[in-house]
Structure 1
Amino acid sequence: VVFVNKVDLADPELLELVQLEVEEQLAAYEYEGVPFVYGSALGALRAIEASGDPDHPDCACVRELVRQLDAHIPAPERDTDGPFLMPVEDVVTITGRGTVVTGRVERGVLRVGDEVELVGLLGASDAPRQVVVTGTQAFRRDVAEARAGMNVGLLLRGVKRDEIERGQLLVAPGSVKPHTQATAEFYVLSAEEGGRKKPFGTGYAPQFFFGTTDVTGTIDVGEAGLVNPGDRATIRFALIKAVGMEPGVRFAVREGGRTIGAGVVTEVG
């Protein structure tokens, strides 16, 4: 769905030309028949602020955009049956309340009073720590539960700010373990895709990005000897810190500020 904004400032005769140009660009990526919605986002906001009426005529474009999104974009599937898992994106201290972690729930359902484990990172010898969730919020409102797909803040009992860090996982007890080593199927971007220009071998040490964290690791390419840009390979890697992971976890690999490849974990340990 394409929303053409600021139509109140544009020459009406140019709108058809704009649509034709955008349709041509989309067709190059096999997106044909995409619906277009015209309007002014700022005009809609000003109408809401002035009248408080969401049915104001100037808000019609936003209502139409929502209708088209509902009609053309399927609702994403949410894994609410699996064990709870949420990567920690940020940690804050709220005076009088305690420590709150924020993130997007990737799977499962969590309710106030449930016990979870903090898995991965911090010290090398830190074992998963069990904590109790005493409050959940979404969009600054208290909610009874946190479900897969929601961005939430979780209030944790008895945990200090410096005892949690971005990149850890909050999981159902015993469901995910921290690991430093794993086997993965890995694709190396070609130079044309923005990746490396030269091959690499065992001992190559880039940054691995898992969810909300990044950690240095070394790669073992095994009998392959060298892996060239554009290749797919089975690799082993060893991280300098333990990360909560399991088979099926996806990761990206970066070097010098650019992504050079991506993979999926097939075996841990």
Structure 2
Amino acid sequence: MATFTPTKPRTIGHVDHGKTTLTAATTKVLAAEGNAKAIAFDEIDKAPEEKERGITISRSHVELPIVSGSGLYALQGTNEELGEKAILKLMDADPVRQLYRPFVMPIEDIFYIQGRGTVATGHVEQGTIKVGEEVEILGLTQGEPLKTTVTGVEMFKKLVDRGEAGCKVGLLLPGLKHGDVQRGMVIAKHGTLKTYKKFEAQIVYVLSKFYLRTADITEKVQLPDDVKMVMPGDNVTATFELTLPYPLDHGQIFSLREGDRTVAAGVVSKVLS
């Protein structure tokens, strides 16, 4: 099967969010810069079903930051700050991605394909992953990391030659048995991550339960000797000990929850053991 290589940004929104208007405005502004051909609003939707219903049916997904502006103003040539200048900001809206750090992807979901292997899905936290590269699966287990080779990368239900930081991908991982992997474990480039159970962190307010990346882990919290109680809004540095080892790094963000409420947020300041 041929692989799909994404080369252009894509957008998605609810019906009447203004996607078609924005597309028309983007082509109009870029055409004035000599970078595109202007396409009129009523020429964008070409399928008979789209023309009949008056809406765009073809869709795809991509994560983008918000840029305030008006496609209508850009088309009308009015209110330059919210019109043409805002449209031009869209060209610089792609967030900075940590492409050159070693590959890391927390697992969000797992599927099993008979005769092919395990598919683990998640958002690539940093780095790039390609078909044929060796990876390790770490965390939430007392044993050694699981080793496997990526035999397929899928994005938007299409096979691609690589996945990179910021993308949600599915990785085909052969040789794993049912139950070997679970949500919250981390897939990383071979030999680049270690797991820990004890670390120091600065948090605001203290209550259980510990959530890091996509993992849900039970932990013990040790407050400093001179701190007897922590009240809502307090800022404190405490020592955490996890019941299972997990890949940690200085600056890693986590949260503590009680039921469905987040009661504390923290950042790892020191990895201990």
- TM-score, reference length from structure 1: 0.69
Instruction: Give the match's secondary structure for 1:71.
Output: helix
Instruction: Give the match's secondary structure for 2:179.
Output: helix
Match of 2:112 in 1: 93
CA deviation after TM superposition for structure 1 residue 160, in Å: 1.5
Indicate if the aligned counterparts of 1:176 and 1:246 stay in contact, CA closer than 8 A. Answer: no
Match of 1:229 in 2: 232
One-letter identity of the residue aligned with 2:174:
R
Match of 2:195 in 1: 178
Match of 1:195 in 2: none
Deviations 1:47-79 (A, max 9, x none): 6663467xx9865xx9949x9677357211110
Structure 1's unaligned 5+ residue stretches are 8-43, 189-199
Indicate if the aligned counterparts of 1:88 and 1:170 stay in contact, CA closer than 8 A. Answer: yes
Matched, 1:50 2:69: no
Count of residue correspondences: 210
**Equivalent residue runs for 1:16-27 within 5 Å:** none
1:214 pairs with one of 205, 212, 216? 216
Structure 2: how far apart are the matches of 1:240 and 1:109?
30
Deviations 1:220-262 (A, max 9, x none): 1112222221111111011112222111111000013211110
Percent of pairs with identical residues: 34
One-letter identity of the residue aligned with 2:187:
L
**Equivalent residue runs for 1:70-149 within 5 Å:** 71=89, 74-122=93-141, 125-149=142-166
Structure 2's unaligned 5+ residue stretches are 1-12, 18-41, 60-69, 73-83
Instruction: Give the match's secondary structure for 2:99.
Output: coil
The 3 A distance-change label for structure 1 pair 152 and 230 is same
- TM-score, reference length from structure 2: 0.68
One-letter identity of the residue aligned with 1:211:
R
Matched, 1:239 2:228: no
The 3 A distance-change label for structure 1 pair 69 and 159 is farther
Structure with a larger share of its residues in helix: 1
Deviations 1:170-229 (A, max 9, x none): 0112222111111001122xxxxxxxxxxx6xxx6x110011111111111112222221
Matched, 1:254 2:257: yes
Indicate if the aligned counterparts of 1:85 and 1:171 stay in contact, CA closer than 8 A. Answer: yes
Structure with a larger share of its residues in strand: 1
